[in-house]
Structure 1
Amino acid sequence: MLFAGAAGASAQPVAPVCAALETRLAQSPARLEGRVLNETLFEAASLDCPGIAAALLDRGASVEARNRRGGTPLNIAAARGAGEIVADLLARGADIDHADLAGITPLLAAVQAGRRRMVATLLDAGADVGLASREGVTPIMAGAFDGDARLLALLLEAGADPNAEDRRGKGALVYAAGRAFPGIVATLLEAGAEADRVWGHDLTALMWAAGHANDAPAADGVETARALIAAGAAIDRQDDRGRSALMIAAERGHAQMVTFLLDAGADPGLRDREGRLALDLAAGDEIRAMLAR
């Protein structure tokens, strides 16, 4: 067999998918030329079959091959968390910072996939922690959105900018606040994220926290807002619609957030650009009663 022993080169047991791929390749070895050779390398990377990937590279598969999304085998292996393949590709000269057509580097792909060990490997190998996708999303933004504190710490230790802004006018602090991740928000603030920075549409992280995702625990939303205010976020700042954090919380139906903001000194008398109060925007009788006092 052309790949006899290749799939077993790793000290780890051969995965069934790798054994099946090896068998298929051995049945038609003459086809493994040119484009097919590279396509098969992508398949081996996506399945995390290090022995097969090594054999394909030895036969002539290219570390610079591109798939239809513009990614290289390294992009695919990094997203898969295929550590042995990534190490082999890097040793053979693969570009650690190659971006696919969407601008996603191996590091960003690993962060988006939640591959903490792979992120550490790539950072140790010199991956650029500041490279952004075509949408302006950096690894630290993706990490903040996913709420992985240990992964975020790796990125910050590598020098990630907590105040970087994407093309939608959002940053890591905004992503974490909108998901109501108080621990992530606290970490970013400690790393130098600006608590009262005005982002796209004149929104602040506090406003994003006030209107946090519905699947987040209400208590986490409140703790996130508390951390931001303690760090200097202005409670009555208004966005480009004239909406304050209190108005946003009221409209979103976040009763605990409304209570917290009122207790923290939010002004219920502010009006938006259409002249509406938080009371006018309130979703539900409970919140209207709070604001009518």
Structure 2
Amino acid sequence: MSPFPFTRLIRCAASGAAAFSLLTASAGGALANVKTCQLLEQNYEQIKRGASTAELNRSLFSAANKGCAALARRLLDDGASLQARDRVGFNPLARAAQAGEGEIVTLFLDRGADINARALDGSTALYKAAETGRLRIVRQLVGRGGDPSLTGRSGITPLAAGAYIGSKPIVELLLAKGADPNILDTTEKTAIVYAAGRGFPDVTRVLLDQGVDVNARYGNDLTVLMWASGYSAEAGVNDMIQVITLLLDRGAKVDDRDNRGRTALMTAAELNHEAAVDLLLAHGADKSLRDQQGKSAGDLTSLTALREKLAAR
């Protein structure tokens, strides 16, 4: 008898167990949320008689953060204010958006919450939703008038926040709603710098397709190719190779220099990114070039094998 039916049975059992675990985890999370809301409601019952506006508002923030829609509605009816701010300047709408609580976002908007209210760092509800990857909330907010041009911390746009976490759907949605992909933040970076530097080829492609200049210069005269070649530690090597290949295929100049005279190859070499070095060399990068201190790519790497490769004729 073929072992296949038994193997399939094991796989089905494992699959079923995984599905059961997922369902029970989901149910457990929902139950925990119900209990949290019940506890918040009990706490409110204890303070509601003679509760100050400040106490009502604190309870409203708790309800927004935990997804307790019924309690939030009750608090608004009892006098809690949607204009209230927490210690960093967020209103209840922004906290509900950050938490991904769509029902509460709808409630607050229907009750007149300022959709474009800004916190101390400039962040709006839309920014917080994009930053935390809440696609459904982003769609909800832009559909109700959320402004994608309003920046959050360090002048970062909601689009750049979505690019930073690699959310192609959020980036596409915000672009469709008129978000400008070329807005520089206070560190002189745009959405494509975050997408490329953190290893998100799909998001990088979307932004290039939108017309972003592959050879544009950013802070310190860096190009996107340089950012990609010096990719962050969180990025996977395969993803980064895809990003670098994409940029080169779209016409990125392989030997452009930054304000220190360094090229993408030098950046990759200094960070010991061997796969990136190999790819750049394959695309004609000049390993003989030197920066303003007279150092070549081979001088910058700490890997003996990579230094030998870059020193070879």
Match of residue 136 from structure 1 = 155
Q: Distance in 2 between matches of 1:44 and 1:234?
A: 52
Alignment map for 1:32-47 (pairs within 5 Å): 32-47=51-66
Cα offsets for 1:145-195 (capped at 9, x unmatched): 101111211111111111111010111111111111111111110011111
Determine which of 206, 214, 218 is the counterpart of 2:233. 214
Match of 1:185 among 174, 183, 204: 204
- What corresponds to 2:174 in structure 1? 155
In structure 1, the partner of 2:126 is 107
- Where does residue 274 of structure 1 map in the other structure? 293
CA apart distance, 1:33: 2.5
Instruction: Give 2:42's aligned amino acid.
Output: T
Q: Please name the residue that 1:285 is paired with.
A: 304
More helix by share: 2
Q: Separation in 1 of the partners of 2:261 and 2:271?
A: 16
Q: Provide the residue aligned with 1:249 in structure 2.
A: 268
SS at match of 1:253: coil
What is the aligned counterpart of 1:23 among 42, 48, 60? 42
Give secondary structure in 1 for the equivalent of 2:154.
Answer: coil
Query: Is residue 2:83 matched to residue 1:64?
Result: yes
Paired residue total: 282
CA distance in 1, matches of 2:115, 2:172: 21
Query: By how many angstroms is 1:20 displaced?
Result: 0.9
Question: How much has 1:283 moved relative to structure 2?
Answer: 2.4
- Which residue does 1:52 correspond to in 2? 71
Which consecutive residues of structure 2, in runs of 5 or more, have no partner in the other structure?
A: 1-29
Q: What is aligned with 2:13?
A: none
- What is the DSSP-based 3-state SS (H/G/I as helix, E as strand, rest coil) of the residue aligned with 1:135? helix
CA distance in 2, matches of 1:200, 1:28: 53
Q: Write out per-residue CA displacement over residues 84-118 of structure 1, whole angstroms, 9 at most, x where no aligned residue.
A: 11111111111101110011100000111111111
Q: Does the 8 Å contact 1:163/1:194 carry over to 2?
A: no
Question: Structure 1: which 5+ residue stretches go unaligned?
Answer: 1-11
1:52-93 superposed Cα distances (whole Å, 9 cap, x missing partner): 000110111111111111111111111111111111111111
Within 2, Cα distance between the matches of 1:176 and 1:212?
10
Aligned mates of 1:78, 1:141 — CA distance in 2: 17
Q: 1:31 to 1:112 in 2, by over 3 A?
A: farther
- CA offsets per residue over residues 120-158 of structure 1, 9 Å max, x none? 110111100111125110011111110111121111111
SS at match of 2:247: helix
- 1:29 CA displacement: 2.1
Consecutive aligned runs of 4 or more in structure 1 exceeding 3 Å deviation: none
1:169 aligns with 2:188: yes
Secondary structure at 2:231 match in 1: coil
The match for 2:12 is none
Residues of 2 paired with 1:31 and 1:277: CA distance?
A: 73
Deviations 1:187-207 (A, max 9, x none): 110011111000000001000
Question: What's 2:277 paired with?
Answer: 258
Is the contact between residue 211 and residue 252 of structure 1 (CA under 8 Å) also seen in structure 2? yes
> 1:30 is paired with a residue of what secondary structure?
coil
How far 1:31 sits from its partner (Å)? 4.1
SS in structure 2 at match of 1:96? coil
Structure 1 counterpart of 2:224: 205
Q: Percent identity?
A: 43
Partner SS, residue 267 of structure 1: coil
Letter in 1 for 2:86: N
Give the TM-score of the pair, scaled to structure 1.
0.93
Q: Alignment partner of 1:167: what SS?
A: coil
Encode CA deviations 1:13-72: one digit per residue, 9 max, x unaligned.
871100111112112321423111111111111111011000110111111111111111
- Work out whether 1:235 is the aligned partner of 2:254: yes
| Cα distance between partner residues in 2 of 1:47 and 1:54 | 13
RMSD: 1.4
Aligned to 2:115: 96
The amino acid that maps onto 2:307 is R
Q: For residue 201 of structure 2, what is the amino acid of its counterpart?
A: P
User: Is contact 1:259-1:290 (8 Å) kept?
Assistant: no
Query: Secondary structure in 2 aligned to 1:208?
Result: helix
Equivalent-residue separation in structure 1 for 2:238 and 2:84 (angstroms) = 48
